[in-house]
A and B are shown apart, each in its own frame.
Chain A
Amino acid sequence: MTAVTDCWAGLRRYAQAHHLAQVSAGYAAATVVAVIAGGHDFVLPAANSRGWTEMASTVATPLPFAMLAAGSLHSSMASLEQAASGRLARAEVAHLAAALLLAAALLGTATLVTGSPGGAAEGVRNLLIYVGLALISGRLFSRSLSWVVPVGAFVLVDFWGSDGVRPRWWAWQFMVYDSLWSWVAAGAVLTGGVAALVARPAGRSLWPPGRRA
């Protein structure tokens, strides 16, 4: 009985240090946006001959989820956690898995409500891509700046990702849900992100070197 109480207390303290309330509110808002955007296409500036491209909103709707999921790995107790054991590292991976699953469930359901099953699958695949990039960004620039690389990727893919008819080979977010290559790439990006998360020393940024925040 004590062990169970301890476990819950530990979870509660962990969640508190990792901005549980803010992430919940953010997920709720991102879900609302995904429901509203689900049935629409976005018209955004692009490099093709028309100067704009019409894209499925699922290129953009996973972005907030990914930035929140990866950003929630930032801890208010970051400086204390520098002395943590391997248990914390395992807890972080479990945390990421839970945040990712919840985001995928919310985004998939939200897109299904107003969009299509294929759109929902594309949204989830793009979520995997953005989360992988966000984890890499967190390792590069510190966890508070997890949003930088996903935003950069969105800008590049949106503007140069399509020749006006077909997506370029690297614009996985534009590909239809049954493109195997885009799923393989998404898996690879996510794997790279998880590797960046667990690589030792945990949590240190590469630029500026060694910042932990």
Chain B
Amino acid sequence: MRFGVFWTEVRRSPLRWWLPVLMALDVAMLVGRDTAWIGVWPQASAAAQLPAYFFGLVLGGGAAWVAGRVHRAGLTEQLAASTRARWRVELPLLASTVFYGLAAFVPGAVLAAVVSTPEAGPGFLWPSYLALGVCLVVLSAATGHLAGKLWESRFVPPIAVAVCLFGQTMLRPFRFYVLSGHPQVEVSPAALAVRVAFVLLIAGFALAIPPRAAGGGQWARRGAGVAGAAGLVAVAMAGPVQVERPAPASALCSDGTPQVCVWPENRKYLPVVSAMATRFSSLPNGVLTVPPAFYEKGLRSAAHPEAGGDFQFLAGELSVPMFMASTVLSRTLPDCEVPGGAEERYSQQVFTLDAYLQVRGLGDARALGAGGGPPGVDLREIARVLGLPDNAQAEWVAERLAAIRGISGDCRD
């Protein structure tokens, strides 16, 4: 019977017109962006969680509009005089709003799992990120519902939207979403637990607190205000949503030389990154000093002298050659004092060599990004050199190194 009421609310909710829009938005937000998240479980989970921020805006306003129908229809007092407990009347209504939020959220999560499975290897979506998304969906719906019920004003839905937007964007300690999910970080269990408790608290208020226009209930509203404020303080005190993860007991390393080690979650990158490392070491005559192993950030203790240059996947593998090129360059050309007046000539030579190494590492010019590489670098010259056989390239690199050492002196000793 109760389910029958819930289903009636679902069919009557004005949000039914928005469900296709929200579902399309969810899927578009997953695939209509850079798809480097595909095949890395924590990244896929964070990507599936991300649309919840936008659903929050729509659901906050939508829930307030749905809950305000009692006022618009002039039934506030009749409802207050009902013999049924208030929460039993409100539950199907709030549940129908949450239903629409989740119905739009779940297809994205399923899609993220389906497209990630072939590449990502063992594991699955991280429940913590999905829980964070569900929390934000329920919180927005409950906040909007509560506001729409408490105040009769026509402006409550847009105000609920604004509160969701500015509250989530400007008040960082109360944030319920993350922008990305690198394997080096995870959702803090304490922060998540406090957020779940806070969402349940607000949802409880949304169900049980009587509207102002119904008369009575001042103490319930004041008590709820105090408890809500205390809850917000608790959320802020629980610390940031994401915390550093300890390095895995065994990193995933390639067999080749130089060796490449990545976090196990980033296994899909191992072949492509180890090919990059090989392209650095394959220049003949030992013109470059390549380290025996390249590590992804977070695998080595930060105290290690070279850990600062460990590579990161900032936008998929495109960012990796930049880190590797600087590691190789700093091994090949130890820091030297550059004589005054020669800085410009020096940095132009170093930038040229650096750009060459990045493009060689990745295998194409996308390594330099949309900006077209460091200032003053002749990209056509680099393209010409990369077209030469490896021997000739090594000669060109040796000339550049000689020129640089000519400016700054050779301080390898």
Contacts and interface: CB of A to CB of B under 8 A. Distances in A.
Given A45-B177, A51-B33, A67-B162, A19 B155 contact: yes
Contacts of B61: 147-148, 151
Interface residues of B, number: 37
Interface string B159-203: 101100110011000000101100000000000000000000000
B36 to A, nearest CB: 7
Interface stretch (A101-109, A118-126, A157-165, A170-178): A157-165
B50 A40 contact: no
Interface in A43-102: 43-52, 60, 63-64, 67-68, 71, 74
B245 to A, nearest CB: 19
B129 to A, nearest CB: 13
B315 interface: yes
Interface string B67-79: 0000010000000
B86 to A, nearest CB: 25
Interface residues of A, number: 41
Contact of A26 (B54, B155, B170, B179): B155
A63 B58 CA distance: 14
Contact of B166 (A33, A47, A67): A33
B237 to A, nearest CB: 22
A147 B161 contact: yes
A23 interface: yes
Given A47-B29, A50-B315, A60-B166, A144 B154 contact: yes
Given A22-B155, A47-B32, A151-B58, A164 B166 contact: no
A45 B179 contact: yes
A47 B33 contact: yes
A127 interface: no
A128 B170 CA distance: 23
Given A60-B166, A64-B158, A51 B29 contact: no
B263 to A, nearest CB: 18
B65 interface: yes
Contacts of A67: 155, 158, 161-162
